[in-house]
Amino acid sequence: MLVLSISSFLAFLRSTIFVVGYIQSSNLFPEPLSAEEEKIYLERLSTGDEEARNVLIERNLRLVAHISKKYSTTNIEQDDLISIGTIGLIKGINSFNSSKNIRLATYAARCIENEILMFLRSNKKTKNEVYLNEPIGKDKDDNEITLLEILETDEKSIEDKLDLKMKIKRLYEKMVDTLKDREKFIIEMRFGLDGNAPKTQNEISKIMGISRSYVSRIETKAIGKLEKAFKEDY
């Protein structure tokens, strides 16, 4: 099973901080960007600007929350749906092509919903397996989109691959140096870093014999530690 690349995972950590902060403070998400602002940040993103990526993620979290509400009748916790939807948002922003005649919000919404649907579908499978070539939606020309096409839209250069390996190594070093055993265990299960399918907070709470809210607190604290550790590197 393929999990998020390290760059996407780090972006997800940052966006999760935004999600947790807004939920805990006022239940409000930041206002979407104006068309002109979005154009500026997309141009910056095309040059590899990570801060632009963070802004695009943060300012589209309201879209994630809106789409997640459509599936509130499922047996999945709302915060889990938002976390899953945020992964779809990140994939959408990473793979968005501004030269095509489609708005970012439209494309991102499709990716968010596909991610949630894929997760709900995978929960029904015996081994929670998701195959890379499994269709997860259609594009504006009615062509099927696979998970592989969403995750890998461009061939990575040797430099990109080396950079990815270095980031993976740094992530695990930070987890070992920064997190307590319980925090590391939860982060690994939560994001599928142990090689298995990512688990919900409810699933982890049953495995560990603690409440879901306690798992959530530990997860939030661990993500905060990692965020702080990475910021100290820059």
In this model, does residue 214 exceed pLDDT 50?
A: yes
Does residue 208 or residue 132 have the better pLDDT?
A: 208
The average pLDDT across 207-225 equals 88
Global model pTM greater than 0.95: no
Residues 6+ apart with CB under 8 A from 143: none
Q: Does the pLDDT of residue 27 top 70, yes or no?
A: no
**pLDDT of residue 230 exceeding 90:** no
List, for residues 113-149, the tens digit of each pLDDT value: 998 888 887 765 534 444 445 554 555 556 655 545 5
* Alpha carbon distance 18, 82 (integer Å): 12
Higher pLDDT, 229 or 233: 229
For the chain, give every domain's residue range.
6-151, 158-231
pLDDT score recorded for residue 22:
47
Contact predicate 234/227, CB 8 Å: no
Q: How far apart are the first and last CA of the chain?
A: 32
pLDDT band at 170 (very low <50, low <70, confident <90, very high): confident
* 158-231 CATH choice from 1.10.10.10, 1.10.3720.10, 3.40.50.150, 1.10.150.20: 1.10.10.10
Query: 157 phi and psi, to 5 degrees?
Result: -80, 165
SS3 161: helix
CA distance 62 to 97: 21
More confident residue, 116 or 154: 116
39 pLDDT tier (thresholds 50, 70, 90): very high
Residue whose structure tokens are 């940040």? 41
Could you confirm whether domain 6-151 is CATH 1.20.120?
A: yes
Percent of the chain past pLDDT 70, that is, above it, reads: 67
Per-residue model confidence as pLDDT tens digits over 94-117: 899 888 888 999 999 999 999 888
What percent of the chain is helix, strand and coil (3-state, nearest 5)? Answer: 65, 5, 30
pLDDT at 191: 76
Question: Shortest CA distance to 227 belongs to which of 20, 5, 2?
Answer: 20
Residue 175 tokens read as: 């987890």
160, 116 Cβ separation under 8 angstroms = no
In whole angstroms, what is the distance from residue 186 CA to residue 199 CA? 9
| Residues 19/82, Cβ–Cβ less than 8 Å | yes
Q: Give the model's pLDDT for residue 128.
A: 42
* Closest to 30 (Cα-Cα) out of 38, 19, 41: 19
Question: Are the C-beta atoms of 12 and 90 separated by less than 8 Å?
Answer: yes
Which has the minimum average pLDDT: 53-57, 125-129, 183-187, 209-213?
A: 125-129
Q: 174-190, pLDDT tens digit by residue?
A: 888 889 999 999 988 88
Considering the chain, what is the average pLDDT of its residues?
75
CA distance 134 to 127: 15
Quote the pLDDT of residue 3: 45
